[in-house]
Amino acid sequence: MSELHELDATAQAAALRSGEVSSVELVEHHLGRIATHASELGAFVTVTAEQALVRAAEADAQIASGGAPPFAGVPTAFKDLTFTRGTQTSMGSAAMRDFVPGVNAYVVDLVEAAGFISLGKTNTPEFGLSSYTDNDVIGPARTPWDPARNAGGSSGGAAAAVAAALVPVAQGSDGGGSIRIPASACGIFGFKPSRGRVSAGPVGSDWSGLAGDGPLARTVRDAAALLDAMAHPEPGDVRPLPEPPVPYAEWARRPPRRMRIARWSRTHLEGIRPSADAIDAWESASRLLESLGHEVVDIDNPFPSELEPQFNVIWSSGIASAAIPLEAEAVLRPNTRYWRDRGRASTAIELTQALQFLELTTRQVVTDLQAYDAFLTPTLALPPQPVEWFNESGDPVEDHHRELLFTPYTALYNMSGQPAASLPLHWTADGLPMGVMLAALPGQDGPLFSLCAQVEAAAPWHDRRPPGFA
pLDDT recorded at residue 325:
83
Contact predicate 428/384, CB 8 Å: no
The per-residue pLDDT for 400 is 97
SS (H, E, C) the chain: CCCHHHCCHHHHHHHHHHCCCCHHHHHHHHHHHHHHHHHHHCCEEEECHHHHHHHHHHHHHHHHHCCCCCCCCCEEEEECCCCCCCCCCCCCCHHHCCCCCCCCCHHHHHHHHCCCEEEEEECCCHHHCCCCCCCCCCCCCECCCCCCEECCCCCHHHHHHHHCCCCCEEEEEECCCCCHHHHHHHCCEEEECCCCCCCCCCCCCCCCCCCEEEEEECCHHHHHHHHHHHCCCCCCCCCCCCCCCCCHHHHCCCCCCCCEEEECCCCCCCCCCCCHHHHHHHHHHHHHHHHCCCEEEECCCCCCCCHHHHHHHHHHHHHHCCCCCHHHHHHCCHHHHHHHHHHHHCCHHHHHHHHHHHHHHHHHHHHHCCCCCEEEEECCCCCCCECCCCCCCCCHHHHHHHHHHHCCCCHHHHHHCCCEEEEEEEECCCCCEEEEEEEECCCCHHHHHHHHHHHHHHCCCCCCCCCCCC
**What is the per-residue pLDDT for 327?**
85
Q: What is the pLDDT of residue 301?
A: 98
* The pLDDT value given to residue 422: 99
307-330 tens-digit pLDDT: 999 999 999 999 999 988 888 899
| Percent of the chain whose predicted confidence (pLDDT) is above 90 | 98
Tens digit of each residue's pLDDT (9 = 90 or more) over 420-443: 999 999 999 999 999 999 999 999
Return the higher-pLDDT residue of 244 and 15. Answer: 15
The reported pLDDT for the residue numbered 1 is: 58
Distance from C-alpha of 89 to C-alpha of 82, rounded to nearest angstrom? 7
Over 90: is that where the pLDDT of 172 sits? yes
Q: What is the mean pLDDT of residues 245-273?
A: 98
* Predicted confidence band of residue 29 (pLDDT cuts 50, 70, 90): very high
pLDDT at position 225: 98
Contact criterion met (CB below 8 Å) for 104 and 46? no
Q: What is the pTM of this model?
A: 0.98
Cα 266 to Cα 272: distance, rounded to the nearest angstrom? 9
Instruction: Calculate mean pLDDT across residues 99-127.
Output: 98
Cβ atoms within 10 Å of 253's Cβ, excluding its own? 14
| Nearest one of 267, 217, 256 to 424, comparing CA atoms | 217
List active site positions. 79, 154, 178
- Predicted local confidence at residue 326, as pLDDT: 83
Mean pLDDT (whole number) for 187-193? 98
Is the pLDDT at 167 greater than 80, yes or no? yes
Tell me the CA distances in angstroms from 395 to 315, 378, 381, 390, one per residue in order.
Answer: 19, 27, 22, 10
Each residue's pLDDT tens digit, 354-375 = 999 999 999 999 999 999 999 9
